[in-house]
Structure 1
């Protein structure tokens, strides 16, 4: 083999290794599949995720290494255990810590598989006391400023359907598809930003608009999914977000609030028997958390699968911070106004 061939092999090998390191440690591109972050992020957006901000997370197994995972899957029996962990969680130092209102990519804490990535806004940090009142997040007793493009569902009473359709078309709103016909005759439900709602209110085509709240009997699908907590999507808490070193007394209330987190995310078996509590089969009166956790919300408040449904996102699941929208392409349509758009 001559020097020319060796040089070519080394060049391509170097490019391959650099590409892997770049994706693991620096940036990666993700797609927005749903409308849960509208109108901040839209379906079809391709977003650039900065891994350096919080510090890049080191791979937990060969499955986490781009392109190497393809080779690994070819091994006999490898595909049967895609969630195997070979190395303990480690993260390199970053330039900053997570801040409230950061938009980030993380892997879903409860769904299996390494490709269940979510993109949401961080509303509460470890140690924060969170409550949601009227659909608005309240942190440590103070309401957090709502994102400018966040959406809520409103019930709208138009003068007539034809006039309403012309109005929504003129404002660039989709009155069908994103909206649903209300059970109440003569009204329509739509997901709207605050600005869009105000635009509709200024029109003589609208009789009235009111915010739509979740039903009071929805505690069975709102975290912690127990009827002892009369919590809804729009009104829940207060709830303390666990942090590393936080000690809680083991009682019935805390068992309901944090039991699933301890069992599934901390990976410690917590049981309640006859009013007594056991950690890995040993009697216990308190538990000290081992990880930091965050509370995530989608900007499209009434159309988002987020922490209100499944609980806390652990620090080790965080991939990086969304930096900007590169472009938007969906159903054959390219949206030029989304090119290199900053995310706030």
Structure 2
């Protein structure tokens, strides 16, 4: 057939298939496609690459401040494959308006993690899921369920509150500094942490509380505000002319130089003074927030003896984090129906603590952080603001785009 004749016939035939132009998408369809693409792309970035995070409490002050907005890298330690894959985009565990669950836990995937750039190192600032967040009292979500049970009793808690469970990746996000990695031995004496027998002083931005005694009652507290203290948060009256200060070592050295200051002493708990809220909540151990240990942090492949000394420390790890059925029959321990004297850990674990040592709920209270709870590494602060002053004065300009050390 002559090509030109066929082409003229095709153009003249209105019923030709190729003659009909493609139907254009409606504006609504274009917007829907754009939104779906944006949600999918943002979700992929958030899950596998980087995620924004806000500092909600003062447990890391003065390293990180309330009102700091961070970017957390999922790439450094390797992105964790979602363990609860069916979830509402951009909602963590609760829907913002209805207050209902933002995920479906009927489908659960095993813990898997993509290869990362590095392992977690000591002193890294890490975001992780709260280990004891597996059970929550919905009306008291800011409180540790297990601590509530220890103080009020299980029956009272379950009769007053709505109790629910959460999968690993839908537990609250915490941010702390990694003090010890799997295999390390951690202890604390008089407020100073030791790792493998070596004392590790607080970083320059870390702070604890001090008892400060003045020579006179006539004190201009504006001096301390100029030093960087928050008069409402960092200074509390203890007795006549004596106050509790929360600050860094550098700040407290400046306080010591003031002519009207009589003494400055670290306000730590005495050794032997028991605090049952401190991990492992064992009445046979006289441990407290400033004096505990030694504790060996579990790691993959480490084998321990199951006895009365070890089990208060490791029973929850073996039972909850590693998913075993643990029973005590007489003087023997039975794991998954088999009597045994030893146990070998399947995962690596970490010891996390806040830089604001006397105002931080951390591993001293709830123990080890399993590797499957690790979210990512805190990289840098992209925005920071406080709640006082005008809009521009609220922004902490010196903290914008600053790294986290």
For normalisation by structure 1, the TM-score amounts to 0.91
* Pair member with larger Rg: 2
Change (3 A) 1:267 1:340: same
Structure 2: stretches of 5+ with no match in the other structure:
1-21, 135-165, 389-393
State the distance in 1 between where 2:130 and 2:174 align. 6
Partner of residue 51 from structure 1, selected from 53, 74, 82? 74
Corresponding residue SS for 1:189:
strand
In structure 2, what is the equivalent of residue 293 of structure 1? 349
Give the corresponding residue for 2:315: 259
**Native 8 Å contact 2:234 2:247 kept in 1:** no
Structure 1 residues 84 and 150, CA, compared in 2 at 3 Å: closer, same or farther? farther
Give 1:43 deviation, angstroms: 0.7
Equivalent position of 2:147 in the other structure: none
Match of 1:235 among 291, 296, 303: 291
Q: Deviations over 1:101-143 (max 9, x none)?
A: 0001000011134241100000000111111122222111112
CA distance in 1, matches of 2:316, 2:231: 40
Residue in structure 1 matching 2:174, options 115, 118, 136: 118
Deviation of 1:63 after TM superposition, in Å, equals 4.8
| Correspondence list, 1:90-105, <5 A | 90-105=112-127
- Equivalent residues in 2 for 1:167-206 (5 A)? 167-182=223-238, 184-206=239-261
Match of 2:84 in 1: 61
Structure with the larger RCO, 1 or 2 (CA within 8 Å, 6+ apart): 1
The answer to whether the Cα contact below 8 Å between 2:273 and 2:286 also exists between their aligned partners in 1 is yes
- Secondary structure of the residue that 1:181 maps to in structure 2? strand
Q: Is the 8 A contact 1:126 1:241 kept in 2?
A: yes
Answer yes or no: is the 8 Å Cα contact 1:27–1:50 preserved in 2: yes
User: Do the aligned partners of residues 63 and 160 (structure 1) sit closer, same or farther apart at CA in structure 2, a change above 3 Å counting?
Assistant: farther
- The answer as to 2:213 corresponding to 1:157 is yes
Q: Which residue of structure 1 lines up, in the alignment, with residue 55 of structure 2?
A: 32
What RMSD, in angstroms, separates the aligned Cα atoms of the two structures? 2.4
Unaligned runs of 5+ in 1: none
In the TM superposition, residue 190 of structure 1 has moved relative to its aligned partner by 1.4
Partners of 2:277 and 2:92 in 1: CA distance: 35
Distance 1:2 1:314 in 2: 54
5 Å matches for 1:9-28? 10-28=33-51
Deviates more, 1:10-19 or 1:240-249: 10-19
Which is further off, 329-338 or 245-254? 329-338
- 8 Å CA contact retained: 2:88, 2:103: no
- The Cα of 1:15 is off from its aligned counterpart by 2.7
1:65 CA displacement? 6.6
Query: Would you say 1:336 and 2:358 are equivalent positions?
Result: no
Change (3 A) 1:35 1:63: farther
1:80 and 1:46 map into 2 onto residues whose CA distance is 23
Residues 231-274 of structure 1: per-residue CA shift (max 9 Å, x gap): 11111111110011111111111111111221221121222232
Contact 2:297 2:368 in 1 (8 A): yes
1:238–1:281 distance in 2 versus 1, CA, 3 Å: same
* SS state at 1:24 partner: helix
| Change beyond 3 A, Cα 1:139–1:83 | farther
Range 133-142 or range 172-181, more displaced:
172-181
Contact 1:63 1:69 (C-alpha < 8 Å) held by counterparts: no
The equivalent residue for 1:88 is 110
Structure 1 pair 85–249 and aligned structure 2 pair: CA distance change class (3 A): farther
Is contact 1:24-1:65 (8 Å) kept?
Answer: no
